[in-house]
Amino acid sequence: MVRASILARRYAEAYFALAQEAGDIGGWREQLAGVAETLGDPAVSEALANPKTSLAERVRQGMQLLEGVSPEARNLARLLVERRRVGIVREILSHYDALTDKASGVVRVEVTTAVPADGALEKRIRDALSKQLGSDVQTIVRSDPSIVGGLVIRIGDRVIDDSLRTHLQQLQAALA
């Protein structure tokens, strides 16, 4: 799994570098998303990785599915099919999105609340995080009643857990 993630990041970095050179990061992302949607289907992914089918036939089938996709995205897809790495195409898209965010100064944040948040609360959370982080913030706000109260904020691989559930668990551990 770790190796797949490393490979996906490398493919994404190479594809992103080409998109930057072309000056069309958004357009290339759209093309990559099309490839991920098509090749990410489990049945398609399995068929294109089938060792019983000849490599030439697998490549032909993959390219046939991607009619209308840009030559660059088709080249990436061809490489993934040839190397039996079609299964990481969605992860490549995820890494590409992270590179796009980094290049544009956007930080994606996932916020979990105990109760559903209305638009005004989401805006307050986004504004506070934007001010704290010093960059543009895009938030995804979810509710999870199991946290009882407070917030759990995920920024990349960093987690800020200020939920009542966690505070109660810490209190219980301190009293034990």
Fold of the 2-101 domain: Peroxidase; domain 1 (1.10.520)
Model confidence pLDDT, tens digit, residues 94-111: 999 999 998 998 999 999
User: Residue 1's pLDDT is what?
Assistant: 57
- What's the CA gap between 64 and 85, in Å, rounded? 18
Model confidence pLDDT, tens digit, residues 44-70: 988 888 889 999 999 999 999 999 999
pLDDT above 90 for 176:
no
User: Residue 111's pLDDT is what?
Assistant: 95
Task: Look up residue 126 and give its two tokens.
Answer: 């986004």
| Average pLDDT score over residue span 24-49 | 92
| Average pLDDT score over residue span 71-93 | 94
Q: What percent of the chain has pLDDT over 90?
A: 81
pLDDT above 90 for 3:
no
Q: Is the dihedral of CA 38, 1, 144, 124 positive or negative?
A: negative
4 pLDDT tier (thresholds 50, 70, 90): confident
| Burial class, 161, CB count within 10 angstroms (exposed 0-12 / middle 13-18 / buried 19+) | middle
| Average pLDDT score over residue span 123-152 | 92
Domain edges within the chain: 2-101, 105-175
Fold of the 105-175 domain: Glutaredoxin (3.40.30)
Same-fold call for 2-101 versus 105-175:
no
